[in-house]
């Protein structure tokens, strides 16, 4: 495991339903990063197609294998020779089912391939959202190994439920990637209410479990709805390390220092306490599940 991992959080405004054009833009971004030494590039939820597709999901969805091939072509088109990992949200097709998913891929190495696909478990059907009408729920929650260590992925509302991040941390994740598409709500404060909610959520996850949390959000406007941007990274103490601007497209370069994770967990052993009490918590969850 390496000690420092350089990340590029890409606040991205996709051209709606124009996958080839968005892949070309991704290739240009990779080329733009040049010799910045980026190890992992993160993109928002549904970054390559736009979010509010409704029935258009069926036309834009890709299999994980198709997306990996497209990412390989984007990297080659950028002329990049160094290895690069990419975490990106997309609409996934699997047989006759469709999902709001996030894929983590390793590119440009001897072991290049898809490391993991997470399918969004909590599909909002309130306010401006109607996800469950167009995609199916995911049903698994797993941490996974990368060339940099063990990580996990959540998608947007998944992270608003405390149990999801706890499960991934207990399964060994040191870094959590959270691609989001968060429409702006309430502009009366210093920051939009949704952006403040996301910052508070990410801080809480990071500090409670001693993990890095990288949240990457869509920016710009789609169908009359504005996505906030304001992506950020929290260190294992729950401190904001990097933060993007409101609405704008932006590349935020920031470094994960893995040695700080052990120190944070030693100073605040909440994850160890959670693990010690896990048998009782599991029993309690089973009792809740048995209630009819």
The DSSP symbol for 129 reads -
Spatial distance between the Cα atoms of 214 and 205, rounded to a whole number of angstroms: 11
What CA dihedral angle connects 43, 45, 46 and 48, to 10 degrees? -10
- Which residues, 6 or more positions from 181, have their beta carbon under 8 angstroms from its beta carbon? 44, 45, 46, 51, 89, 156, 217, 218, 227
Please tell me whether residue 235 adopts helix, strand or coil conformation.
coil
Structure tokens at 71: 């990412």
* Structural domain harbouring 67: 4-290
Structure tokens at 82: 């160094």
Q: How many residues does the chain have?
A: 292
The CATH number linked to 90 is: 3.60.110.10
Q: pTM of the prediction?
A: 0.96
State the DSSP H helix or E strand holding residue 98, giving kind and residue range, or none if neither.
strand 97-107
Q: What tens digit of pLDDT does each residue of 77-113 get?
A: 999 999 999 999 999 999 999 999 999 999 999 999 9
Radius of gyration of the chain (CA): 18
- Tell me how many domains the chain contains: 1
Q: Is 251 exposed, middle or buried (0-12, 13-18, 19+ CB in 10 A)?
A: middle
Cβ distance 192 to 186 under 8 Å?
Answer: yes
Per-residue pLDDT of the chain (292 residues; tens, 9 = 90+): 568 999 999 999 999 999 999 999 999 999 999 989 999 999 999 999 999 999 999 999 999 999 999 999 999 999 999 999 999 999 999 999 999 999 999 999 999 999 999 999 999 998 888 899 999 999 999 999 999 999 999 999 999 999 999 999 999 999 999 999 988 887 777 788 889 999 999 999 999 999 999 999 999 888 788 898 999 999 999 999 999 998 889 999 999 999 999 999 999 999 999 999 999 999 999 999 887 6
Query: What are the beta bridge partners of residue 98?
Result: 93
- Which residues, 6 or more positions from 100, have their beta carbon under 8 angstroms from its beta carbon? 45, 46, 89, 91, 92, 119, 120, 123, 131, 135, 155
- Which residues, 6 or more positions from 283, have their beta carbon under 8 angstroms from its beta carbon? none
Structure tokens at 149: 């260590």
The DSSP symbol for 105 reads E
The label of the residue with tokens 């059907």 reads 125
């Amino acid at each position: 495991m390496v000690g420092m991992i350089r990340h590029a959080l890409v606040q991205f405004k996709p051209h709606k339903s124009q996958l080839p054009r968005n892949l070309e833009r991704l290739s240009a971004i990779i080329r733009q990063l040049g010799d910045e030494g980026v190890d992992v590039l993160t993109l928002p939820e549904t970054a390559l197609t736009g979010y509010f597709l409704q029935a258009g999901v069926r036309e834009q969805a890709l299999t994980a294998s198709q997306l990996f091939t497209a990412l390989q072509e984007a990297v080659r088109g950028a002329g990049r020779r160094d290895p690069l990992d990419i975490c990106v949200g997309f609409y996934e097709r699997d047989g006759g089912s469709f999902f709001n998913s996030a894929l983590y891929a390793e590119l440009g190495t001897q072991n290049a391939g898809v490391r993991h696909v997470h399918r969004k478990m909590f599909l909002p059907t309130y306010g401006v959202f109607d996800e469950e009408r167009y995609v199916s729920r995911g049903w698994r929650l797993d941490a996974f190994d990368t060339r940099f260590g063990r990580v996990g992925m959540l998608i947007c509302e998944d992270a608003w439920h405390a149990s999801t991040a706890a499960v991934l941390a207990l399964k060994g994740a040191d870094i959590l990637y959270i691609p989001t598409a968060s429409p702006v709500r309430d502009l009366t404060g210093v920051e939009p209410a949704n952006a403040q909610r996301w910052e508070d959520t990410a801080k809480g996850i990071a500090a409670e479990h001693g993990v890095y949390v990288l949240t990457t959000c869509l920016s710009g406007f789609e169908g009359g709805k504005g996505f906030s941007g304001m992506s950020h990274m929290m260190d294992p103490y729950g401190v904001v390390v990097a933060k993007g601007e409101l609405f704008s497209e932006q590349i935020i370069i920031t470094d994960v220092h893995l040695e700080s994770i052990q120190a944070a967990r030693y100073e605040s052993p909440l994850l160890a306490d959670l693990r010690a009490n896990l048998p009782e918590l599991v029993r309690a969850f089973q009792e809740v599940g048995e209630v009819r």
